[in-house]
Structure 1
Amino acid sequence: MPPALIQTLALTVVGAIPALVLGFLVGPAWGWGLLALFLFLQLLNALRYFLRLERWSHHPQPTADLEGSGAWDEVFSRLYRHEKELRHAIARRDNDLMMVEAAGQAIVDGIITLDGDNRISWCNKVAERQLGLDIRSDRGQPIANLVREPGFVAYLTGGNFRLPLRLNAPRNPELFLSIHLLPYAGGYRLMQVRDVTQSEQLDRMRRDFVANVSHELRTPLTILGGFLETVRELDLPPAEHDRYLGLMADQSDRMLRIVQDLLTLSSLESSPKPGSDRVPMATLLAKLRSDAEALSAGRHSITLEAEAIDLLGNESELVSAFGNLISNAVRYTPAGGTIAISWKRCVSSAEFAVSDNGIGIAPEHIPRLTERFYRADTGRSRESGGTGLGLAIVKHALSRHQATLDIASKPGQGSRFSAIFPPGRLAGG
Structure 2
Amino acid sequence: MLSVLTRFTLLICLAFVAAYIALANWGPDIAIPAGLVVLAIPLVYSYINLARLRKYVIQDSVENMPLPSGFWEEVFFRLQRLVRNLKQEIRTVEKQHDRFIEAFQASPNGILMLDDQDQIEWCNSIAERFFGLNFKRDVLQRINFLIRRPEFIQYLAKRQFEDPLLLERMGADANLSLMLQAFPFGQNRHLLLVQDVTDLQKADAMRRDFVANVSHEMRTPITVLMGFLETIHTLDLDKAQQDQYFEMMMSQAQRMKSLVEDLLTLANLEANTLPAPMQSVQIPTLMALLKNDAEALSQGRHALNFETSSPCDLMGEEREILSAFSNLVSNAIRYTPDVGAVTARWSVNAQGQGEFSVTDTGPGIASEHLSRLTERFYRVDRSRSRDTGGTGLGLAIVKHIANRHQAQLIIDSMPGKGSTFTLRFPKDRVAC
Q: Normalising by structure 1, what TM-score?
A: 0.96
Please list the CA deviations of residues 141-165 of structure 1 after superposition, one character each: whole Å capped at 9, or x if unmatched: 1111111111111222222222221
Query: Which residue of structure 2 lines up, in the alignment, with residue 405 of structure 1?
Result: 409
SS of 1:395 mapped into structure 2: helix
Query: Which residue of structure 2 lines up, in the alignment, with residue 292 of structure 1?
Result: 294
Aligned counterpart for 1:392 among listed residues 377, 392, 396: 396
SS of 2:167 mapped into structure 1: strand
Query: Which residue of structure 2 lines up, in the alignment, with residue 247 of structure 1?
Result: 248
Q: Distance in 2 between matches of 1:128 and 1:344?
A: 48
1:24 is displaced (CA, Å) by: 1.1
SS of 1:368 mapped into structure 2: coil
1:19-418 mapped onto 2 (5 Å cutoff): 19-65=19-65, 67-168=67-168, 169-271=170-272, 272-306=274-308, 307-346=310-349, 347-418=351-422
Query: Which residue of structure 1 lines up, in the alignment, with residue 18 of structure 2?
Result: 18
Q: Distance in 2 between matches of 1:327 and 1:152?
A: 51
Structure 2: stretches of 5+ with no match in the other structure: none
Given that residues 56 and 66 in structure 1 are in contact (C-alpha distance below 8 angstroms), is that contact kept between their aligned partners in structure 2?
Answer: no
SS of 1:70 mapped into structure 2: coil
Aligned length: 427
Given that residues 53 and 66 in structure 1 are in contact (C-alpha distance below 8 angstroms), is that contact kept between their aligned partners in structure 2?
Answer: no
SS of 1:305 mapped into structure 2: strand
Q: Distance in 2 between matches of 1:368 and 1:125?
A: 32
For 1:361, the aligned partner's letter is I
SS of 2:174 mapped into structure 1: strand
CA shift in 2, pair 1:244/1:121, >3 Å: same
Q: Distance in 2 between matches of 1:194 and 1:263?
A: 33
1:138 is displaced (CA, Å) by: 0.8
1:171 is displaced (CA, Å) by: 3.2
Q: Distance in 1 between matches of 2:267 and 2:54?
A: 81
Q: Distance in 1 between matches of 2:142 and 2:39?
A: 65
For 1:284, the aligned partner's letter is L
For 1:342, the aligned partner's letter is R
Given that residues 147 and 170 in structure 1 are in contact (C-alpha distance below 8 angstroms), is that contact kept between their aligned partners in structure 2?
Answer: no
1:66 is displaced (CA, Å) by: 5.4
Given that residues 61 and 83 in structure 1 are in contact (C-alpha distance below 8 angstroms), is that contact kept between their aligned partners in structure 2?
Answer: no
For 1:331, the aligned partner's letter is R
1:34 is displaced (CA, Å) by: 1.0
Q: Distance in 2 between matches of 1:147 and 1:22?
A: 86
Answer with 225-234 or 36-45: which moved more.
36-45
* RMSD of Structure 2 on Structure 1 (CA): 1.6
CA shift in 2, pair 1:57/1:389, >3 Å: same
Given that residues 19 and 34 in structure 2 are in contact (C-alpha distance below 8 angstroms), is that contact kept between their aligned partners in structure 1?
Answer: yes
Given that residues 149 and 170 in structure 1 are in contact (C-alpha distance below 8 angstroms), is that contact kept between their aligned partners in structure 2?
Answer: no
Q: Distance in 1 between matches of 2:405 and 2:423?
A: 10
Given that residues 18 and 38 in structure 2 are in contact (C-alpha distance below 8 angstroms), is that contact kept between their aligned partners in structure 1?
Answer: no
Q: Distance in 2 between matches of 1:363 and 1:287?
A: 32
Please list the CA deviations of residues 326-371 of structure 1 after superposition, one character each: whole Å capped at 9, or x if unmatched: 0011111111111111111121311110001112112222111111
Between the aligned residues of both structures, percent identity stands at 43
Given that residues 66 and 80 in structure 1 are in contact (C-alpha distance below 8 angstroms), is that contact kept between their aligned partners in structure 2?
Answer: no
Q: Distance in 2 between matches of 1:171 and 1:154?
A: 23
Q: Distance in 2 between matches of 1:242 and 1:96?
A: 83
For 2:374, the aligned partner's letter is T
Please list the CA deviations of residues 249-276 of structure 1 after superposition, one character each: whole Å capped at 9, or x if unmatched: 1111111110111111111122354211
SS of 1:295 mapped into structure 2: helix
Q: Distance in 1 between matches of 2:121 and 2:114?
A: 5
SS of 2:195 mapped into structure 1: strand
Given that residues 339 and 357 in structure 1 are in contact (C-alpha distance below 8 angstroms), is that contact kept between their aligned partners in structure 2?
Answer: yes
Given that residues 305 and 342 in structure 1 are in contact (C-alpha distance below 8 angstroms), is that contact kept between their aligned partners in structure 2?
Answer: yes
CA shift in 2, pair 1:66/1:187, >3 Å: farther
Structure 1: stretches of 5+ with no match in the other structure: none
For 1:243, the aligned partner's letter is Q
1:172 is displaced (CA, Å) by: 2.8
For 1:340, the aligned partner's letter is T
For 1:43, the aligned partner's letter is L
Q: Distance in 2 between matches of 1:391 and 1:64?
A: 74
